[in-house]
Structure 1
Amino acid sequence: MTRVRQINTMCLFMVAYLLSYIDRQILALLIGPIQSDLLLSDTQFACLNGLAFSLLYAILGFPLASMSDRYPRPPIIVGGVILWSLATMACGLCNSFWSLFLCRVLVGLGEAALAPAVYSYIADTVPRERLAGTLAFFFLGSFLGSGCAFLFGGWLLAFVQQHHFMILHAWQICFMVVGLPGIFLGIIIALTVHEPSCRTVPARPATTSVAISFFRNHRTFFSLHMLGYTLLAVTLFSLFSWMPAQMMRIHHMSHTELGLTLGIIVIVAGCGGAFTSGWLIDILTKRGLWYAPQLVASSAAFAASIPLVISVTTMNTHLAIISFSVAFFFASFPMPPSATVLQIAVPAPMRARFSAAMLFCNAIGGLSGGSLLIGALNDHVFHSAASIGTSIALVAGTASILGGVLLLLCIPSYRTLCNGLGRMERISDMPALQEVV
């Protein structure tokens, strides 16, 4: 694959990730009108924003990842992009909690196909010394997409409300508009992206039992790694999901003001954090610091906790915005190292499935569990919409500190695993690999 084609492919993947986050995050901005029109509680909204999306996203990520380990990955990516885009547009036709729940489930199913296939594709085409930086570029799509969802979603909602579309609610039209570009992107990827010629699929692919055996032999590392990054996902997704509600309820921002403020913060601080994280890991790795991913991620987790708590507990709007920007910058650091480590530490025939396992933990624990816990605390413990900041601080702040501690604890087992991987990389046939793992 030529350098130019590689860059074009990475840009298309990043745009796909961008659109996926627009389609999943637009719901958080539309919390007010959706709750008003469908009469939803905070817990029900958390189910739509977290559980519904993560249900099939987490479960079907494994068979889709297994397909990515064995079959050409571009068709899998294209199918996922088109499915989640159609499902997002279908959200605009919903008029009840359960119909919207079902469409959000289908959005999650489509997006489950993207990340494991792209991780595996990148690992096959990018040298290890540039892996973290390349993955960081891919992850920029998540923050650009979320930022665009806030930035243009607020403007779009205001525009639709002003023009009084009588057939559908304004939030329904927003879903239909943001889902449409993914259809065209899927067609472009189908026509331009092809499986790399350098990829070698083993005659006997790694079976699920082999992958499970590999996990068990290194269970200390994988348990600490996945649990640690799941807790950090709780922090990041809590800010994604509930900060719009915090800003509207406590600081009385309009949808337009909120979209502009959060959109700029997510794009600038999120992209800056992901890029800085990948850059630091690549630099430190080249200098011989083998545990650079854990060091960078854990340091950022500790750094995010204090400004996070300040941002959701202060009544000063300016202080809330500034501290949220700092917290979000550091909260975005863990995304590149979480994927980078798995691409390094897992043999190629099993990478996509281990990536799916990581995404499963992030979806169930980080997106669904964290969001549901915040909604439940607000509904059943504090019994007040105005207490949303306290709920966020308790859940996201605690998760950030605990996640950082676990990543530091997994450093010794990471070294043991990497030493073993150095031996495994010299083994070319799967029977030998099965004996080693």
Structure 2
Amino acid sequence: MSRLRQTNVMILFMLAYLLSYIDRQILSLLIGPIQADLHLGDTQFACLNGLAFSLLYAVLGFPLASLSDRKPRPPIIVAGVILWSLATMACGLCNSFWSLFLCRVLVGLGEAALAPAVYSFLADIVPKERLAGTLSVFFLGSFLGSGCAFLFGGSLLGVAQQYNVTSLHAWQVCFLVVGLPGLVLGAVIAATVREPARRRVAGPHVPAAQAIAFFRQHKEFFSLHMLGYTLLAVTLFSLFSWMPAQMMRIHHMTHAQLGLTLGSIVIVCGSAGVFASGWLIDYLTRRGLVCAPQIVAATAAFLASVPLVISVLTHDSHLAVISFAVAFFFASFPMPPSATVLQIVVPVPMRARFSATMLFCNAIGGLSGGSLLIGALNDKVFHSPAAIGLSMALVAGTASVLGGIMLLLCMRSYKVLYDNRMSNQHDMPVATPTMVEQPA
């Protein structure tokens, strides 16, 4: 596949990731009106924002990833995009906690199809020395999407409140509007992206038992790797999920002010962080530093912890915004290495399933667990919505430090596995005789 086609495919996948995060994060911005209309506490909202989304996102990631290891990946990606877009629009028709919970479950199901298939697809068309940088462009979609959800979500809510001529609440109209573009993008991907003519293969399909055996053989590395990045996911998703509520409750920002402030920070600092991470890892890897992913991610985790705690505990609005920007820049660093490492050291027929395992840990532990713990601390321990900053500091700040430590501890076992994989590469690209080159 030519570099131009690689770029086109990468941009389309990044746009899909962007829309997935808009559909995922718009709920965080709408916390106030949703809680008021549906009479929800912080724990219930955390269930909608984390648990509901992560249930099928985490569990069905495994069969979908296995399917991506064996079948053409573009149709899987298209089906996921269309499903989560329709489910997001269905959120706009909900009028109870349980109906909204069900629609959020379906949003998670659709998004579960995207990442493992894209990781595997990009690893087939991009050499490993450019893989971290390429994946950083894909991950850019998460920050652009979240930033757009904040940046334009507040304005969209204001317009819906002022000009709404339907019987729906303004927040319901927002869901209907943000879900629509995904249907268009799904059609574009279906029409333009094809499975690469040269797909990395390594013999017949590998059964689950063999993948589990590979995990056990290198359990020290995989356990520390997945635990470390799960803890760092707690940090990042806590900022995504609860910073809007923190800014509104403590600093009394309006939806418009909040959208402009958080949206700008997420887009600029998140994008800069993920690009800097990918560039640093590729640069250090080219210089022969095998453990570059762990060093970059762990260093960023430590650097994120202090400004994070300051941003959620201070009552100075200007200091809170500046500290959040610094914390978010470093909190975005772990995204490229978490995926890049698995694409390099895991045998090709197992890649998507190991990626799904990583996403399972991030979803259950990072998105669902972290968000629920913060909501439960607010409701059950501190008994006050105003204590959200303390809850975030305890959960997200601690997770950032512990995650960095886990990644440093896994460096030795990673180097052993890396050297083993580089000396026993059985999964070099070969032409698949049943496929022909098609434009992407």
**TM-score range, shorter-chain basis?**
over 0.9
Match of 1:46 in 2: 46
Aligned to 2:199, what secondary structure does the other structure show? Answer: coil
Match of 2:434 in 1: none
Shift of 1:426: 4.0
Unaligned runs of 5+ in 2: 430-440
Match of 2:155 in 1: 155
In 1, Cα distance between the equivalents of 2:423 and 2:328? Answer: 39
TM-score (norm 1): 0.97
Match of 1:432 in 2: none
In 2, Cα distance between the equivalents of 1:325 and 1:148? Answer: 16
Match of 2:176 in 1: 176
Aligned to 2:198, what secondary structure does the other structure show? Answer: coil
Shift of 1:423: 3.1
What are the equivalent positions in structure 2 for 1:271-286 lying under 5 Å apart? Answer: 271-286=271-286
What are the equivalent positions in structure 2 for 1:27-426 lying under 5 Å apart? Answer: 27-426=27-426
Shift of 1:142: 0.1
- Matched-pair contact (CA < 8 Å) for 2:144–2:271: yes
After TM superposition, the structure 1 stretch with the greater mean CA deviation from structure 2, 136-145 or 412-421, is 412-421
Shift of 1:420: 1.4
TM-score (norm 2): 0.96
Match of 1:434 in 2: none
Match of 2:432 in 1: none
Shift of 1:206: 1.1
Shift of 1:424: 2.7
Match of 1:433 in 2: none
In 2, Cα distance between the equivalents of 1:272 and 1:3? Answer: 23
Shift of 1:204: 1.4
- The C-alpha deviation readout for 1:7-49, integer Å capped at 9, x for no partner, is 0000000000000000000000000000000000000000000
In 2, Cα distance between the equivalents of 1:31 and 1:366? Answer: 20
- The C-alpha deviation readout for 1:46-100, integer Å capped at 9, x for no partner, is 0000000000000000000000000000000000000000000000000000000
Aligned to 1:333, what secondary structure does the other structure show? Answer: coil
- The C-alpha deviation readout for 1:353-412, integer Å capped at 9, x for no partner, is 000000000000000000000000000000001000000000000000000000000000
Match of 2:437 in 1: none
Match of 1:435 in 2: none
> Which stretches of structure 1, 4 residues or longer, exceed 3 Å deviation after superposition?
200-203, 426-429
Unaligned runs of 5+ in 1: 430-437
| C-alpha spacing 1:206/1:63, structure 2 compared with 1 (3 Å) | same
Aligned to 1:199, what secondary structure does the other structure show? Answer: strand
In 2, Cα distance between the equivalents of 1:202 and 1:270? Answer: 36
- The C-alpha deviation readout for 1:213-260, integer Å capped at 9, x for no partner, is 000000000000000000000000000000000000000000010001
Match of 2:23 in 1: 23
- Matched-pair contact (CA < 8 Å) for 1:47–1:372: yes
Shift of 1:419: 1.5
